[in-house]
Structure 1
């Protein structure tokens, strides 16, 4: 088995070869800068949409867009509503082009002789070139050597079973255990229209189209090769003199498969290119997707990404938990109404910097803002199940203090009691029922959308971080208040 690392973008003899895992690039000058997504009805920024895909993924999107072009197109031009499809320039930068252009749309994407037209002329000129004939002959030799295959024919017309008027003429066709097979030699100018038309035809015939190349260099890939590679689970099939001789020697049809193998590189994926001599009938077949492959790149890569995501999530959870603990521990230990020590100032500066890295601004000094002090006193008290920051004896007193002096934090305090499962402590201390009555009053006020106990928007990010999941609940309360007819204009004064 041969193995070599996948390369980054290379430009050899004018061809640009792109790292499959890098993000795709839009063309610099776009005639069509937005497209209409026919499924969602939304307008998509073309640059953002193209740049959101890895190169390997966008190639798959490009094929899917072209396959659906004549039926239910995925995208249309927002100006003229003509279906559009994805193409690439010679630098493998992508853009959208009209399916039909009559000059009525300001976006002019087609010219008298397009790149596709030139490729089409080259394609028809190369079909009977010497390399094409040679590879076709090698496929025939390989199939004829294996008694498991029958009905082997060269350049025989294939009429559609559903519509006799539709026909194709594959380079080679045969019958095997997998069903009917059509082999096509992939030329350097086999452009996407040819690929899509043949895939659709043989899928409808419940047959399998197999694209075969005579050679493959992962460091020198044309876009036409990428169209086949990334829609075939990153596998390319080769038939050459070596594979044909081996097929004849073993009386079993063999091909050489070049494929990508994903490997973990820290918190990312890297690729290794490998090649193996494999039995053709041991490949995995997917008739509906018109592909056959040896190595399941997609599943392997998905498993690695899942493991990376799980580790990143676990690390983030641990880091967030540690930062929450640091802030609560600081608040429990801090000396109130006293000049903080140098150590306390340094600790606070570190905590403040860590929160800033998460987009949460804490006061320059922990005691500089009374509202912040009250919020932290309330949340820390709810967490500890005892008063923190105020000289109270019972937790229920903290609730009354916040409701009286800092009503904007009472909802957060109530959610904190639930979050830290200390609500029973307050209920046990509420011997007169005053807190129960007050809590009901507060709840009804919030349900009506009254502004009296609404939180301040500038405290939501901190509350949401310290009490995961609570931020959205508080946002719903604020949205309800905004939509309450009697409160229009009231919230702006808070």
Structure 2
């Protein structure tokens, strides 16, 4: 027997190595996407949620089609939980062949023991009925009764259990491991159109041994799984209140990365958070808590980076350019280099002689402060000429800095003889002509982007797009 493979929800999804469909057409944007890259760029839990959504909207609002033909596609998995895209239908016209020769019923017959599961199914339904009946807030409790659509009388479903609850009319379906995704999607759509709620219930749950059919329900339900068993049924009868056991993921930030642990608790059914639009019912808001943790982590990261920037700038402005610094001051710079390296930013080791930082910091900080920094000059215009003479690779960054810090009027006022006005035009043309003297040094880009993000972004865009006039 093939052993079930359980994937860490936070791990990135794995595609099959040689899929038949290699490219997708995004039907909203018209963009052609690499199927393998699209799959492998997503966390497993997010991919499963996407898989459910894609399948649910396949007939009415498909997200992707095959790039070789107009047929919509959806995500399926190998037994090893490697993913690929399959045509909704195949008539032989597309060179990509994605459909099995076996029918869904044949696959199910090969994989599962229907009789054994039927007994488990009956037991799970009985637990649900007992739990609902014990709570006087529930009424019209029925097992295996047809639910006719109020919009289309010819459309109907037969949920395992249905009841009138504090959340309105609710259908309960037992999932044991054999429910195909298309069945899940069709039922979700049906009850959403009815303005009702579909709740999937399991007889048990082991987070370390999850089938794909379980993951489809788990990750499309805010990482919550609801279980009704003998213990919860007995508690419901004792307390005259319907109870369910909820298994859910709890996020945390450990060593700078998002991590999960699993918890479970018995909760009152009426205390669940439900949403008929998304067809969800959960006790713990995993998505909200994970987003909050990541937002806090990002805010802390940005605060730490800004603090380091300001400390480096303050150090640079107060350093003595003309005479050797004391040992303690040199140590401060080495500490800055260590902090930058810890953030993945490559920085020069020597703050005095390395042109990658001296000209850059002196030029940009002079523009920011609107007064010379690092050189014993009297005016900003002198700094501008010095950069163009001695550090031409930083002329572009300086030009962006002068614009960023609104120095145009000051430069014009200091350019009394109009020397800079003429020279700036010549430098601009030299840059547009690809003069290598003025091409920014890519090696300094990580440091520039960290210290002065907006200026660094403009220089990076310039380098990426070539010498385009629109960039200068």
1:279 matched to 2:263: no
- Find the partner of 2:417 among 420, 434, 439: 434
Q: 2:243·2:268 contact (CA, 8 Å) conserved in 1?
A: yes
Could you say if the C-alpha distance between residues 343 and 281 of structure 1 is closer, same or farther in structure 2, counting changes exceeding 3 Å? Answer: closer
SS in 1 for 2:217: helix
Query: 1:133 Cα shift?
Result: 0.9
Could you say if the C-alpha distance between residues 406 and 236 of structure 1 is closer, same or farther in structure 2, counting changes exceeding 3 Å? Answer: closer
Q: 2:348·2:354 contact (CA, 8 Å) conserved in 1?
A: no
- Find the partner of 2:93 among 104, 111, 115: 104
Alpha-carbon separation, structure 1, partners of 2:227 and 2:203: 5
1:19 matched to 2:8: yes
TM-score, normalised to structure 1, is 0.79
Which position in structure 2 is the counterpart of 1:264?
Answer: 253
Q: 2:434·2:467 contact (CA, 8 Å) conserved in 1?
A: no
Render the CA deviation track for 1:141-198: whole Å, top value 9, x for unaligned.
2222222211111111111111111111111111122111111111211111111111
TM-score, normalised to structure 2, is 0.83
- Find the partner of 1:468 among 453, 466, 469: 453
1:398 matched to 2:377: no
Alpha-carbon separation, structure 2, partners of 1:187 and 1:476: 53
1:90 matched to 2:79: yes
Which position in structure 2 is the counterpart of 1:458?
Answer: 441
- Residues 407-416 or 309-318, more deviating: 407-416
SS in 2 for 1:469: helix
Alpha-carbon separation, structure 2, partners of 1:116 and 1:333: 80
Alpha-carbon separation, structure 1, partners of 2:117 and 2:385: 90
Could you say if the C-alpha distance between residues 126 and 323 of structure 1 is closer, same or farther in structure 2, counting changes exceeding 3 Å? Answer: farther
Q: How does 1:91-490 map to 2 (within 5 A)?
A: 91-113=80-102, 117-119=106-108, 125=114, 129-322=118-311, 332-333=320-321, 378-379=363-364, 381-382=366-367, 387=372, 392-402=377-387, 412-413=397-398, 415-416=400-401, 430=414, 433-434=416-417, 438-439=420-421, 442=424, 455-458=438-441, 461=445, 463-473=448-458, 482=467
Render the CA deviation track for 1:376-430: whole Å, top value 9, x for unaligned.
65445546665566664544433445567877755644554566788887677x3
Taking only aligned residues, the RMSD between alpha carbons, in angstroms, comes to 4.1
Alpha-carbon separation, structure 2, partners of 1:384 and 1:286: 54
Could you say if the C-alpha distance between residues 121 and 401 of structure 1 is closer, same or farther in structure 2, counting changes exceeding 3 Å? Answer: closer
Q: 2:172·2:201 contact (CA, 8 Å) conserved in 1?
A: yes
SS in 2 for 1:216: coil
- Find the partner of 1:76 among 65, 85, 94: 65
- Residues 135-144 or 418-427, more deviating: 418-427
Alpha-carbon separation, structure 1, partners of 2:124 and 2:465: 70
Query: 1:347 Cα shift?
Result: 9.5
Query: 1:237 Cα shift?
Result: 1.2
- Find the partner of 2:55 among 61, 66, 83: 66
Alpha-carbon separation, structure 1, partners of 2:268 and 2:354: 75
Render the CA deviation track for 1:63-122: whole Å, top value 9, x for unaligned.
000011111211111112211100111111111111111222221111211667513786
Render the CA deviation track for 1:326-385: whole Å, top value 9, x for unaligned.
66677x43669xxx999999999998898899676869996587x987656544554666
Query: 1:235 Cα shift?
Result: 1.2
Could you say if the C-alpha distance between residues 277 and 434 of structure 1 is closer, same or farther in structure 2, counting changes exceeding 3 Å? Answer: same
Q: 1:120·1:189 contact (CA, 8 Å) conserved in 2?
A: no
Structure 2: gaps (5+ residues) = none
- Larger gyration radius, structure 1 or structure 2: 1
Could you say if the C-alpha distance between residues 324 and 45 of structure 1 is closer, same or farther in structure 2, counting changes exceeding 3 Å? Answer: farther
Which position in structure 1 is the counterpart of 2:41?
Answer: 52
- Residues 388-397 or 188-197, more deviating: 388-397
Q: 1:445·1:452 contact (CA, 8 Å) conserved in 2?
A: no
SS in 1 for 2:453: coil
- Residues 258-267 or 390-399, more deviating: 390-399
Which position in structure 1 is the counterpart of 2:24?
Answer: 35
Query: 1:226 Cα shift?
Result: 0.7
Q: 1:123·1:190 contact (CA, 8 Å) conserved in 2?
A: no
